[in-house]
């Protein structure tokens, strides 16, 4: 991922999370759930490729990326797990008759990862 793309993604994810919160407060739960689905799917898409590549060939992955990148797989696994839970909550919220709890559950799972994406973008001087 290029620096400019990461910059756009970091700002977009945080902005969409803020809009989802505003929609949830205004009672537009289906729209908030749809935005939470988009956020969770994007965050899951960031973590899964490295986990899948490692699972297909751990020795090749270690040779290609080195031990430093392998140590980051734990963070990627946690991120993928949290994003999957957020995605599940958002899908339930989208389908439920009384979705308010599920909307806020998915939003609370998405916000820390959204903030982490923005923090890492700033930390690595991408902005």
- pLDDT tens column, 14-24: 899 999 989 98
For the chain, what are the domain ranges? 3-123
pLDDT band at 127 (very low <50, low <70, confident <90, very high): very low
CA distance 88 to 86: 5
CA distance 5 to 33: 25
pLDDT band at 114 (very low <50, low <70, confident <90, very high): confident
pTM score:
0.81
Which ranges constitute the DSSP H helices of the chain? 3-25, 29-56, 58-65, 67-71, 73-95, 100-123
């Amino acid at each position: 991922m290029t620096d400019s793309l990461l910059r756009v993604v970091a700002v977009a994810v945080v902005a969409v999370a803020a809009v989802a919160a505003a929609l949830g407060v205004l009672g537009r739960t289906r729209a908030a759930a749809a935005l939470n689905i988009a956020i969770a799917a994007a965050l899951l898409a960031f973590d899964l490729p490295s986990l899948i590549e490692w699972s297909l060939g751990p020795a090749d992955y270690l040779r290609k990326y080195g031990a430093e990148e392998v140590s980051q797989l734990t963070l990627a696994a946690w991120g993928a797990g949290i994003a999957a839970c957020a995605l599940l909550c958002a899908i339930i919220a989208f389908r439920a008759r009384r979705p308010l709890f599920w909307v806020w559950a998915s939003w609370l799972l998405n916000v820390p990862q959204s903030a982490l994406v923005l923090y890492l973008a700033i930390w690595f001087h991408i902005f």
